[in-house]
Amino acid sequence: MWHKRLVIEMNKVILALSTILCLLSASFLIPCRIQAVKAASLPVLVTVDDDGPADFNTIQGAINNVSAGSTILVRNGLYVENVVVNKSVSVIGESNVATIVDGNRTGSVFNITNTDNVHISNFTVRNSNSLLGFGIALDHCSGNTISNNRIAGNRDGIGLSFSYNNIVRYNNLSLNYFSAVDAELSAGNVFSYNFMSGNSYGIKLSTCDYNVFSGNILHSTGDGITLWKSSGNTISGNSVTENNYGITAVSCSNNGIYQNNFINNTSTFFFQESNNTWDNGVEGNYWSDYDGTDLDGDGVGDTGLPWQGVDGYPLMNPYWNLADINHDLKVDLKDVFATGKAYGSYPGHPRWNPHCDINGDGKIDLKDYYTTCKNYGKSW
């Protein structure tokens, strides 16, 4: 009898111990599972390598498996992919020469749609579909940055559609079949310091308003800058050289076009039903075929105005540096003296010199003088 009682008691002890162990295991595993879920949702930094040890071997695989806010570092290699970016991530190549993304003539190489705050930089982007494809396509998105890429051999280099407040800078867009930049129905974007050569079009805007193009070089393309039904854009500080047309505008108005260099284009421009502004009130553009004279030595032409019927302040020499006050292609004591002489002045003041208002804030102060001195000794 006592044997049965002992067995029953032992079973009770075993059951109690098993219950305790289960509870302890559950209390340990649940926090671990919670921590794992939390960790998976946090932004991370991952690596991609096509043929070496890394977190992923494709860019798309990395994008699919990280959370928004993550950074994806892509090592040098050849990635034959059509990359869909559908979350806010930074995709950074190791080198824009040796980190190559090839679209294999299918669609766009990078496609950013309905996604904001993406950063794509340091890639060679090539071989989109030759009939309908972009190197990098932005569609219905904003706040993205495309920088320091080499984009070549695509139908169009960079395309924007219904996209706003994006930044495109320091890219080399060359030898694309159609346009370097093709934008439609987009506004508030900034395109700066890009190099474009060997495309059928450089910059092509269709129904785009209030974008900024500055510091770009457009060389040896079919048409340098083409505007169609676009208004309120600012185009300044660009060099447009050796193209068929320097700039074309059809049904456009209120675009600010000034301090650009139009050099050795077959035809300087073509306009139809357009009314734009060709100066900032002080300086216009440099035209390599301008044959007027500067009578007062301020670097702005005073005869043959308005040049080509549009520019009332044509520059005598190419625009290249804000601190070159008299536009003689060097920053020297004349420029420093002119800024010092105008120091403390403002519009209406007897010493006011608008050429010395380098930052355009309506006054000549230490910021302007410092900029002139900092650039002293530089030449074009």
Q: Is residue 296 part of a domain?
A: no
Q: Are residues 26 and 103 in the same domain?
A: no
- Report yes or no: 46 and 62 within 8 Å, Cβ to Cβ: yes
Q: Are residues 50 and 36 in the same domain?
A: no
Q: Are residues 11 and 95 in the same domain?
A: no
Q: Is residue 127 part of a domain?
A: yes
Q: Are residues 199 and 325 in the same domain?
A: no
DSSP assignment letter at 361: S
What is the mean predicted confidence (pLDDT) over 342-361?
93
Question: Is the bond into 306 cis (omega within 30 degrees of 0)?
Answer: yes
Q: What CA–CA distance (Å, rounded) separates 373 from 322?
A: 12
Q: Is residue 208 part of a domain?
A: yes
Exposure of 36 by Cβ count < 10 A (0-12 exposed, 13-18 middle, 19+ buried)?
exposed
What is the mean predicted confidence (pLDDT) over 267-287?
93
Q: Are residues 376 and 236 in the same domain?
A: no
Q: Of the residues 241, 268, 287, which one is the last residue of a structural domain? A: 287
pLDDT over 80 at 373, yes or no: yes
Q: What CA–CA distance (Å, rounded) separates 336 from 319?
A: 18
pLDDT confidence band for 222 (50 / 70 / 90):
confident
pLDDT tens per residue across span 187-217: 999 999 999 999 999 999 999 999 999 999 9
Q: Are residues 98 and 206 in the same domain?
A: yes
- Report yes or no: 177 and 155 within 8 Å, Cβ to Cβ: yes
Element (H, E) at 339: helix 333-342
Number of domains in the chain: 3
Q: Are residues 227 and 99 in the same domain?
A: yes
Q: Is residue 367 part of a domain?
A: yes
Q: What CA–CA distance (Å, rounded) separates 168 from 305?
A: 35
Q: What is the pLDDT of residue 43?
A: 77
Q: Are residues 33 and 49 in the same domain?
A: no
Q: What is the pLDDT of residue 12?
A: 52
CATH number for the domain that contains residue 179: 2.160.20.10
| Helix (H/G/I), strand (E/B), else coil: 77 | strand
A 10 A CB-CB count for 25 gives 10
- Average pLDDT of the chain is 90
- Report yes or no: 85 and 112 within 8 Å, Cβ to Cβ: yes
- Report yes or no: 305 and 312 within 8 Å, Cβ to Cβ: yes
Count of alpha carbons within 13 angstroms of residue 101, beta-carbon side: 35
Element (H, E) at 8: helix 2-41
- Report yes or no: 145 and 119 within 8 Å, Cβ to Cβ: yes
Q: What CA–CA distance (Å, rounded) separates 206 from 249?
A: 10
Q: What is the pLDDT of residue 25?
A: 44
Residue 41's alpha-carbon distances to 38, 60, 316, in angstroms, are: 5, 18, 59
Q: What is the pLDDT of residue 41?
A: 59
Q: Are residues 49 and 36 in the same domain?
A: no
Residues counted in the chain: 380
Element (H, E) at 63: helix 59-65
Q: Are residues 283 and 166 in the same domain?
A: yes
Q: Is residue 213 part of a domain?
A: yes
Question: Which pair of structure tokens corresponds to residue 327?
Answer: 């536009």
Q: Are residues 280 and 219 in the same domain?
A: yes
Q: Is residue 225 part of a domain?
A: yes
Q: Are residues 15 and 154 in the same domain?
A: no
pLDDT confidence band for 235 (50 / 70 / 90):
very high
Q: What is the pLDDT of residue 35?
A: 35
Q: Is residue 312 part of a domain?
A: no
pLDDT tens per residue across span 30-65: 343 333 333 445 679 999 999 989 999 999 999 999
CATH number for the domain that contains residue 359: 1.10.1330.10
pLDDT confidence band for 344 (50 / 70 / 90):
very high
CA 210 from centre of chain: 15
Q: What is the DSSP string of 12-27?
A: HHHHHHHHHHHHHHHH
Share of the chain above pLDDT 90, in %: 84
pLDDT tens per residue across span 296-333: 999 999 999 999 899 999 999 999 899 999 999 999 99
Of 242 and 27, which is predicted with more confidence? Answer: 242
- The residue segments making up the domain with residue 273 are 45-287
Q: What CA–CA distance (Å, rounded) separates 334 from 325?
A: 8
Q: What is the pLDDT of residue 21?
A: 42
Q: Is residue 14 part of a domain?
A: yes
Q: What CA–CA distance (Å, rounded) separates 73 from 7?
A: 64
pLDDT tens per residue across span 5-26: 534 454 554 444 444 444 444 4
Q: What CA–CA distance (Å, rounded) separates 197 from 205?
A: 17
Q: Residues 6 or more apart from 109 whose CB is under 8 A from it?
A: 81, 82, 83, 101, 102, 103, 125, 126, 127, 128, 133, 134, 135, 136, 154
